[in-house]
Amino acid sequence: MLELLSVVMVGIGLGKLVVEVINVGNELLDGRTLNSNLQWMGGRFSELGYVIGRAVIIRDDLREIAPAVREALRRKPRWLVISGGLGPTHDDMTLEGVAKALGRRMKVNTEALEMVVEHYEKRMAEKVIERIELTRERIKMAILPEGAKPLRNRIGTAPGVLLKSNSTKIVCLPGVPREMQDIFNNELIPMLIKESKGGKIVMKHVEVEGVLESSMAPLLVEVMQVFKGLYVKSNPKGVEDGKSIVSVDFMADERKG
């Protein structure tokens, strides 16, 4: 079984373009909010030839954030993407947690502060606010770990953040889906495409009637052994009209031919 898992992991790129995701937010754990960000990111990463090897959800707590980042970095993923906790409130602690994990100081980033000011200038022009006040809470969104590069947020206020730790690139994104998707599409995807050399994971889905998953399992193993680089995953869907329904997903790395 372990030998087969090794074949599968290499076949779908887990030995090469691995991404880990940390979703931060109490609301994701107490039932208030569905973690749609992870589902959305999973689709985008797959399209670009990356595989999410691990994803975790943690609370807005420094005692959770810093250890989770350290643990992920020990596995040396190509990218570590963290969403949530970049806002102006007291419990938005993601960047502080990342800084603590990396042993870096937090400081006002001039470029990030300019982005925050530009956002409020736009809101003033739209007559949403009467004047710009750089309160402590607003400046907080421009306080980044040393060595960080801000990523422009075209929808909201808090910039995304890019850092590097040894061979791992760390990207911090807002938890608000529209803002996360904006930064992902406009800032992160160009970097991902450049690194993946344009490859992508090709996925196909079929449904099989009248065959039990347990009967199908040996055949799927044989298929993966014959077609190197192909990953096949089955999921039972239940019974309809007296026939079992099994969903089968096929995944292959386009770069492997």
pLDDT of residue 255: 57
Place of tokens 């250890």: 67
Pick from 163, 219, 176, 207: nearest CA to 86? 176
Superfamily of domain 2-196: MoaB/Mog-like domain (3.40.980.10)
Per-residue pLDDT of the chain (257 residues; tens, 9 = 90+): 333 333 333 334 444 689 999 999 999 999 999 999 999 999 999 888 899 999 999 999 999 999 999 999 999 999 999 999 999 999 999 999 999 999 999 999 999 999 999 999 988 888 887 788 899 999 999 999 999 999 999 999 999 999 999 999 999 999 999 999 999 999 999 999 888 775 566 767 788 888 887 888 788 888 878 877 677 878 888 778 878 888 887 777 665 55
Pairing of strands 168-173, 160-165: antiparallel
Rounded to whole angstroms, the Cα distance separating 19 from 45 reads: 8
pLDDT of residue 140: 97
For the chain, what is the HEC assignment? CHHHHHHHHHHCCCCCCEEEEEEECHHHCCCCCCCHHHHHHHHHHHHCCCEEEEEEEECCCHHHHHHHHHHHHHCCCCEEEEECCCCCCCCCCHHHHHHHHHCCCEEECHHHHHHHHHHHHHHHHCCCCCCCCCCHHHHHCCEEECCCEEECCCCCCCCEEEEEECCEEEEEECCCHHHHHHHHHHHHHHHHHHHHCCCCEEEEEEEEECCCHHHHHHHHHHHHHHCCCEEEEEEEEEEECCEEEEEEEEEEEHHHC
The residues with which 246 forms a beta bridge, in sequence order, are 208, 236
- Give domain limits for the chain: 2-196, 202-256
Q: Which sign, positive or negative, has the C-alpha torsion 33, 58, 152, 90?
A: positive
Q: What is the pLDDT at residue 256? A: 56
Distance CA 204, CA 251 (A): 7
